[in-house]
Every structure is written in C-alpha cells, then in structure tokens.
Chain A
Amino acid sequence: ETGVTQTPRHLVMGMTNKKSLKCEQHLGHNAMYWYKQSAKKPLELMFVYNFKEQTENNSVPSRFSPECPNSSHLFLHLHTLQPEDSALYLCASSQDGGQLNQPQHFGDGTRLSIL
C-alpha cells in the first residue's frame, strides 16, 4: 500500500469517448503529479499541482485536462484521445512540489487503451 490510490486500474475507450482518471493520496502531501509511462520511453511528466495550483503543464495536448479540487484528489479528464495516448498513467504525490527535495510516491497507475 503506497498511500496513493488510482482508479480505474484499467480503462479501454474509443477515440470519441470521455472518461476521467482519479487519484487520491492519503499521505498528507501538498503536491500531486500526473505522469505518462510508455514503452521505450522514460516517465514523462504531464502536470504538477502544488497546494491545488497548477505549476507545471509540460506541453500536454488539450485533450488531457487535469483537475485538482483539493490537495488529496487529482483527476485527469480525457476526451477525443488518439491511439498513441495508450499508456500507463501514473499519479504521484510529494510533500512539496518546489524547493524541498522529497521523494515522490506513486500509485499503481491506470492502464489506458485507446481503440
């Protein structure tokens, strides 16, 4: 149990569907992150939220829309995705998203497949 819970664990959707990924952390952290993990590539940072404010958008296409209603919850809203968006989407949290050098703790991810 990592303290970071992601749902669903698996998601299959068509390119015209709209779905959302959910992440919840029980670690009392103030920063939350979305990453994309594809084969043959390192982890790609997508978004960072620090104290509910988005501090990083790593040139992510607008078909991915994050939402952070509070420091414990993070969503990734998906719409009109492309086949190349199929990947493992990982959520992470850390004590602070800025100056403090603290490790990020990850959930087990949502395996997304776009048909």
Chain B
Amino acid sequence: GESVGLHLPTLSVQEGDNSIINCAYSNSASDYFIWYKQESGKGPQFIIDIRSNMDKRQGQRVTVLLNKTVKHLSLQIAATQPGDSAVYFCAEKAGNTPLVFGKGTRLSVIA
C-alpha cells in the first residue's frame, strides 16, 4: 500500500533513468485500473489505464503492467525527466462500483 502526507513513500530517481512505481490492490474483482499524476497545486492528471483482459499497455514513455495473480500494478516511466516529479497514484474499479484510489507515491527526479 501507499500513504500520503508525512508518510508518503518517496522514490528518488536520477534524471534519464527509468522509474518504476508500484501499487498493490486488494479487490480480486477489480477489472479496470488507472494511473494518475498529481503535481503540486493541481488536480490529478490521467496518465494511462488498463483493463483486466490485458497485462501490459504502453503509452508515450509510460508502460503499465498488471499482474492479476498477485494483484499488483506498476507504472514504468522511461527516461525520467524533472517534469515527471509529482505524486503518482493508482485507482481500481470493479464492475459498476466507483473508482477506489490508492494513497500515492512521490516521485522526485534528481537533475
């Protein structure tokens, strides 16, 4: 799991390296997953989503991996840039139920 505020997990990455942010979910019925990025002073921004019939999906510089066996979701960011510094959190959805959000991981990019 993740946490926010004073207990927010932080990932520090050198500029140019790849970043991997992880998310564990608990509902085995979840069939839709989203990654969001939230910069300071802004609302969450949609990055990428994946449905449970897939285990990998790629976007621009980002890849989401889904492992339903262990209920694990990850976001990979290639060639991390200073503009990638933000809080990242995952969200899951099961059927018609509302999205459930994780607490977030803070990504700090070291120039």
A→B interface (CB under 8 Å): 2, 4, 6, 39-43, 45, 48, 56, 58, 90, 92, 98-99, 101, 103-109
On chain B, the residues within 8 Å of A4 by CB distance are: 43
Closest A-chain residue to B102, C-beta based? A42
B→A interface (CB under 8 Å): 3-7, 31-32, 34, 36, 41-46, 49, 51, 89, 93, 95-96, 98-104
Q: Which of A39, A56, A90, A99 contacts B44 (CB 8 A)?
A: A90
Q: How far is the CB of B99 from chain A (nearest CB, A)?
A: 7
Q: Report the bound CA distance from A106 to B3 in whole Å.
A: 21
Residue pair B45, A106 in contact (C-beta under 8 Å): yes
Q: How many A-B residue pairs have C-beta atoms within 8 angstroms? Tell me.
A: 57
Residue pair A45, B99 in contact (C-beta under 8 Å): yes
Q: Which of B44, B96, B100 contacts A106 (CB 8 A)?
A: B44
Q: Report the bound CA distance from A4 to B45 in whole Å.
A: 11
Residue pair B43, A104 in contact (C-beta under 8 Å): no
Select the residue from B7, B49, B99 with max chain A CB neighbours within 10 A: B99
Q: How far is the CB of B7 from chain A (nearest CB, A)?
A: 7
Residue pair B43, A109 in contact (C-beta under 8 Å): yes
| 7 A-B pairs whose Cβ atoms sit less than 8 Å apart in the complex | A41-B103, A43-B44, A43-B101, A48-B98, A90-B44, A101-B32, A108-B43
On chain B, the residues within 8 Å of A41 by CB distance are: 4, 103
Q: How far is the CB of B9 from chain A (nearest CB, A)?
A: 13
On chain A, the residues within 8 Å of B44 by CB distance are: 43, 90, 106
On chain A, the residues within 8 Å of B45 by CB distance are: 2, 106
Closest A-chain residue to B51, C-beta based? A101
Residue pair A42, B93 in contact (C-beta under 8 Å): no
With A40-B6, A42-B89 as known contacts, state yes or no: A99 contacts B43, CB within 8 Å: no
On chain A, the residues within 8 Å of B4 by CB distance are: 39-42
Q: How far is the CB of B106 from chain A (nearest CB, A)?
A: 13
Q: How far is the CB of B84 from chain A (nearest CB, A)?
A: 18
